[in-house]
Structure 1
Amino acid sequence: MSVNVQDLDLPQLTEVKRQLDEELGHLTNSFAQLKQAQAKFKACVENVAEINPSNTGKVILVPLTNSLYVPGRLSNPDTVIVDVGTGYYVKKERAAAVKHYQAKMDFVRSNLETLQETIQKKQENLSFLIQVMQAKMQQ
């Protein structure tokens, strides 16, 4: 069932605007979180690309958390440990790790595009609603 917003009175329009503002805030927050995830996956691809056989035996900093690193030695530059989510890690060849993170980046990019379209539609709806509210106030 659809309702023409021009048929609503000002208090009802105010409530619809509040709901739209809330939805837009949630969608914008989700967009920002997806952008952060995309940046994280991109950094993972870049980090895997930096590992090469010439670094075998050299001391490197191993991340335990986002802000805690410990020194370690690179023993096998052909494989890396990949965080596959929910606390699980898998040993993968470097090329497979890059492919894994690239697939994650593509998935996030697809969701970002869809979310961007949704945000744009909601912003257009909000703009139209504000115009209707202004017209009702002038009457």
Structure 2
Amino acid sequence: MAAPKMVDIRNLNPQQLSEVNQRLETELQVLQNCHQELVGVKKKFITSREAVSELEGSDGAQVMVPLTGSLYVRGRFSDDTKVVVDIGTNFYVEKTRPEAIEFFDRKIKYVDENMEKIMPQMVQKNQSRNLVESEIVQKMKAAKLAKPSK
């Protein structure tokens, strides 16, 4: 693919600037949504890691087991050294507690790395949008001054 061609926004008319601004706004919204989704995923991994960490010494303890989103049954831990982990797309793997903690640590690190990749893009798109909006305002002011008074 060819690299995008740079255009001097001062050479664009207000309609073109508005189109560029709309495109930047859409791209920024997509990046913000992606960032928010990553934040939610990270919170889930952190919560899961904390839950696994707190299992030690819970052999025989009572627990509520979710069968559906709103249906739970009572259960007891038979073995606090092994857990079943959802590794994605509804695949579950039995792991020891340290393996599960290490799995969640890796996932948290991976999400953090992706969030770090998105942040500079969000900042750049926001700066570009601000420049375009500023140019639109300047063009509108210039157009008002250029109109003859009656």
Q: Does TM, normalized by the shorter one, top 0.5?
A: yes
Q: Give the match for residue 15 of structure 1.
A: 19
Q: Whole-Å Cα distance in 1 between the matches of residues 108 and 89 of structure 2?
A: 18
Cα gap change, 1:63/1:103 in structure 2, threshold over 3 Å: closer, same or farther?
farther
Task: Tell me which residue corresponds to 1:73.
Answer: 76
Name the amino acid aligned to 2:86: D
Q: CA RMSD in A?
A: 1.3
Q: Corresponding residue for 2:110?
A: 107
Alignment gaps of 5+ in structure 2 = 143-150
Q: How far off is 1:72 after superposition? A: 1.2
Count residues with an aligned counterpart: 138
Normalization by structure 1: what TM-score?
Answer: 0.93
Going by fraction, where is helix more abundant, 1 or 2?
1
1:116-127 maps to which residues of 2 (within 5 A)? 116-127=119-130
What are structure 1's unaligned runs of at least 5 residues?
none
Q: CA deviation at 1:58?
A: 1.9
Q: Partner of 2:95: helix, strand, or coil?
A: strand
TM superposition shift of 1:83? 0.3
d(CA) in 2 for partners of 1:68, 1:105: 29
Offset of 1:69 from its aligned partner? 3.5
Report the TM-score, using the length of structure 2 for normalisation.
0.87
Off by >6 Å, runs of 4+ in structure 1: none
**Counterpart of 1:56 in 2: which secondary structure?**
coil
- Distance in 2 (CA, whole Å) between partners of 1:16 and 1:110 is 29
Letter in 2 for 1:99: E
Structure 1 residue aligned with 2:62: 59
